């Protein structure tokens, strides 16, 4: 029988397509990652990430206000730490007057309703560029967890709404939850980087923070594969996410984004908490580079990728495109 059902009836024009559209995007779906540096009235564009800057606190606060006006309600913040403050303990990470702690206070004072999620990992503070403390040629899991608890509590004391552990140490979510609760911060949430893969897509980010593993006078891992996940694995991601939820995570994250949409859907199906997806620096840089050469339509491919991440199951998308995408969405 000739088909009675014709899919094209629901594609005749944009009005009909919008009526039956299964997935929608809004500025509140985005979180903007921000890089913060010391100084005043300072900004420096990151060469491998056109349009993304390291900014001093005063310019960061101005940018946060602009983001909030566009409808973006969350920022994920990272700091560029001076080399003189780096060591193997990461102690600058919990300095109450450190750059991260001042950034949290200033952002919350200027824009109290903006949700601030500071990064919790030691790589910006490490002389070795690793996410934890080096002992006997490897990253020491439990010693690193102790340091991360101090870091997270200092963020909560500064006013953070969530802490965002990106380190991939075993058991760190439980230790963070216990530490935050013991310090009286039961209301501060944890957005855990649960399925963070050892990916080559992070290169531009490491340029921004100078956080790549470094040559050293002691034995250190040459990469982060002993703690970040093997990108060949799928089931492991679900296991990690479920463990983090059991340990007290309020949200879980999959990172990277577009190349890992199968993982996003698997995790979304498995957990009962919101799933965040990090559309990472390398994914951003590839679109920018291709668009500059005229190989892709920048805005169309940007929106398509963000929609695909949302369609796969993301409740929140951390993306360097947040501001540009919000501007486009607000024009519609």
What one-character DSSP code corresponds to residue 213? -
Q: What are phi and psi of 313, to 5 degrees?
A: 135, 5
Catalytic hit among 86, 108, 224, 255: 255
Q: Give the contacts of 125 (CB within 8 A, at least 6 positions apart).
A: 81, 85, 86, 87, 90, 91, 92, 93
Q: Are strands 134-135 and 138-139 parallel, antiparallel or unpaired?
A: antiparallel
| 184 vs 319: CA distance, rounded Å | 31
Alpha-carbon distance values, 26 to 266, 281, 323 (Å): 23, 21, 11
Q: Which residues pair with 278 in a beta bridge?
A: 318
196 is an active site residue:
yes
Residue 255 annotated among the catalytic residues of the structure: yes
Phi, psi of 271 (to 5 degrees): -110, 165
Three-state secondary structure readout of 131-176: CCCEECCEECHHHHHHHHHHHHHHHHHHCCCEEEECCCCCCHHHHH
Catalytic site residue from 86, 196, 224, 288: 196
Please tell me the distance from the alpha carbon of residue 119 to that of residue 137, in angstroms, as a whole number.
25
Q: Which residues are catalytic?
A: 196, 255
């Amino acid at each position: 029988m000739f088909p009675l059902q014709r899919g094209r009836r629901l594609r005749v024009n944009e009005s009909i397509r919008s009526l039956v559209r299964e997935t929608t995007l809004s500025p509140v779906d985005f979180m903007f990652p921000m890089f913060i540096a010391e100084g005043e009235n300072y900004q420096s564009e990151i060469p491998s990430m056109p349009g993304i800057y390291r900014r001093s606190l005063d310019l960061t606060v101005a940018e946060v206000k602009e983001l909030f006006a566009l409808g973006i309600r969350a920022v994920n913040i990272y700091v560029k730490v001076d080399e003189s403050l780096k060591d193997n303990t990461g102690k600058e990470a919990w300095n109450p007057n450190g750059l991260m702690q001042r950034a949290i206070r200033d952002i919350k004072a200027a824009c109290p309703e903006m949700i601030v999620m500071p990064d919790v990992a030691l790589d910006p503070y490490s002389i070795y560029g690793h996410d934890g403390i080096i002992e006997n040629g490897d990253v020491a899991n439990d010693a690193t967890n102790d340091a991360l608890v101090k870091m997270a509590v200092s963020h909560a004391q500064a006013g953070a709404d969530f802490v965002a552990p990106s380190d991939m140490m075993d058991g760190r979510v439980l230790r963070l939850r216990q530490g935050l609760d013991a310090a009286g911060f039961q209301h501060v949430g944890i957005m855990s980087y649960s399925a963070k893969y050892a990916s080559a897509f992070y290169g531009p980010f490491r340029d921004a923070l100078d956080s790549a593993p470094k040559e050293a006078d002691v034995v250190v891992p040459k990469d982060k594969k002993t703690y970040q996940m093997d990108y060949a694995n799928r089931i492991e991601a679900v296991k990690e996410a479920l463990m983090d939820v059991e340990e007290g995570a309020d949200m879980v994250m999959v990172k990277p984004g577009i190349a890992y949409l199968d993982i996003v859907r698997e995790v979304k199906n498995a957990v009962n908490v919101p799933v965040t997806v990090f559309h990472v620096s390398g994914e951003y840089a590839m679109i920018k580079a291709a668009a500059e050469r005229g190989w892709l339509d920048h805005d169309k491919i940007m929106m398509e990728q963000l929609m695909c991440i949302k369609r796969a199951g993301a409740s929140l998308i951390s993306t360097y495109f947040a501001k540009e995408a919000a501007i486009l969405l607000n024009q519609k």
